[in-house]
Amino acid sequence: MNSEMAQVYETNARVSIPTYDALFGMVQSYFRAELSGEGASVLVIGAGGGNELSAWGPSNPEWTFTGVDISEEMLKIAQHKTNQLGLSNRVKLIHGTINDLPEDTAVYDAASCILVLHFIDNVQEKLDLLRTIHSHLKPGAPFVLVSAYGDRDSTELKDRLHVWGSFWLDAGRAPSKVNEMVNTGIMKISFLPEKQIEGLLQESGFTNITKFFVTGLFGGWICHAAGSNGVGIESEV
Ligand SMILES: C[S@@+](CC[C@H](N)C(=O)[O-])C[C@H]1O[C@@H](n2cnc3c(N)ncnc32)[C@H](O)[C@@H]1O
């Protein structure tokens, strides 16, 4: 593992999203409430860096995790964290996309896809990913999606970019560099308006779609895999 790279990721994630650690705490609370304290299998899409594993693994000894990531470098960091925390017997890491999960993989009790969707440019590929996640979940299972969002042509996104830039200025980045990050660098990721993200979740079979998180450029949604009859858990009881 390249420890310098790992450290840069840890620092930058918390500048870009000052509520980064709180986000993982909130998701843990929700999963705990939904998973009723028993053993649960959690699918982590984009597990690189290992922060879902280190945030939720030690404090939930009954949970097992399957982490998927396309980056070998990031997975090395996740593996290192997993080993250091003594989680190896409860964590399986897979190099690749969700399509590389073993064919016979059982469905999971919960899933997360945190800070991944905006790296996928093509809307159909985003939808395919969300649909495949849904296909790997038990009916009613909670799913958390966190992604950059916004309408590229809106002043609303411009204003949030300005806020995001302020986080970097305050962390000591040179104004010229922040200017470049705001106007060019971050614009390379794929922003979708929140209504479109919610539409993709719905089209993928998720229900009870609830926005629970916003910080700077990023939003988070909690939802549930629809039951086998296509309706949400609330309608099934
Ligand atoms: C910004 S990191 C987020 C990592 C972690 N979820 C977190 O919040 O700290 C994004 C990760 O998504 C991975 N990634 C990008 N596209 C992916 C895909 N289609 N399937 C799985 N992982 C992907 C990248 O390799 C990277 O490790």
Q: Which atom of ligand 1 is nearest to the CA of 13?
A: 9
Which residue among 69, 79, 120, 130 is best mutated to probe the pocket of ligand 1, counting the most ligand atoms within 8 A of its Cβ? 69
Ligand 1 midpoint to CA 45 (Å): 7
113 in any annotated domain: yes
Query: Please, which pLDDT band fits residue 102 given cuts at 50, 70 and 90?
Result: confident
More confident residue, 162 or 7: 162
| Per-residue confidence (pLDDT) for residue 199, from 0 to 100 | 98
**Cβ(116) to ligand 1 under 6 A?**
yes
Which residue among 116, 118, 121, 123 is best mutated to probe the pocket of ligand 1, counting the most ligand atoms within 8 A of its Cβ? 116
User: What pLDDT digit, counting tens, does each position of 160-210 carry?
Assistant: 999 999 999 999 999 999 999 999 999 999 999 999 999 999 999 999 999
More confident residue, 181 or 1: 181
Q: Which atom of ligand 1 is nearest to the CA of 129?
A: 19
Residues 98-109 have a mean pLDDT of 85
* Angstrom distance (rounded) from CA 234 to CA 209: 12
Average pLDDT of the chain? 93
| Per-residue confidence (pLDDT) for residue 228, from 0 to 100 | 55
Instruction: Say yes or no to pLDDT of 236 above 70.
Output: no
∠ CA 178-181-182 to the nearest 5 degrees?
85
| Per-residue confidence (pLDDT) for residue 6, from 0 to 100 | 76
The domain tally of the chain equals: 1
Query: Please, which pLDDT band fits residue 233 given cuts at 50, 70 and 90?
Result: very low
CATH number for the domain spanning 119: value is 3.40.50.150
Instruction: Compute how many other C-beta atoms are within 10 angstroms of the C-beta atom of residue 199.
Output: 14
**Cβ(70) to ligand 1 under 6 A?**
yes
Ligand 1 midpoint to CA 234 (Å): 31
For the chain, what percent of residues have pLDDT higher than 70? 93
| Per-residue confidence (pLDDT) for residue 2, from 0 to 100 | 65
- Residues near 75 by beta carbon (within 8 Å), at least 6 away in sequence: 47, 48, 67, 69, 93, 95
161 in any annotated domain: no
In the chain, where does DSSP find H-type helix? 3-16, 20-35, 51-56, 72-84, 123-135, 155-170, 175-180, 194-203, 233-236
Q: Name residue 68's beta-bridge partners.
A: 45, 94
State in Å, rounded, how far the first CA of the chain is from the last one: 48
For the chain, what percent of residues have pLDDT higher than 90? 86
43 in any annotated domain: yes
Ligand 1 midpoint to CA 116 (Å): 5
123 in any annotated domain: yes
Position 122, amino acid: N
* Residue numbers of the domain that contains 71: 3-151+190-232
| Per-residue confidence (pLDDT) for residue 5, from 0 to 100 | 77
131 in any annotated domain: yes
156 in any annotated domain: no
120 in any annotated domain: yes
User: What pLDDT digit, counting tens, does each position of 26-85 carry?
Assistant: 999 999 999 986 799 999 999 989 999 999 999 999 999 999 999 999 999 999 999 999
Sheet of 206-215, strand order:
91-95, 63-69, 40-45, 110-114, 142-148, 218-225, 206-215
22 in any annotated domain: yes
| Per-residue confidence (pLDDT) for residue 237, from 0 to 100 | 35
**Cβ(74) to ligand 1 under 6 A?**
yes
Q: What are phi and psi of 214, to 5 degrees?
A: -145, 130
**Cβ(45) to ligand 1 under 6 A?**
yes
* Angstrom distance (rounded) from CA 230 to CA 139: 9
Provide the residue count of the chain: 237
Which residue among 70, 143, 188 is best mutated to probe the pocket of ligand 1, counting the most ligand atoms within 8 A of its Cβ? 70
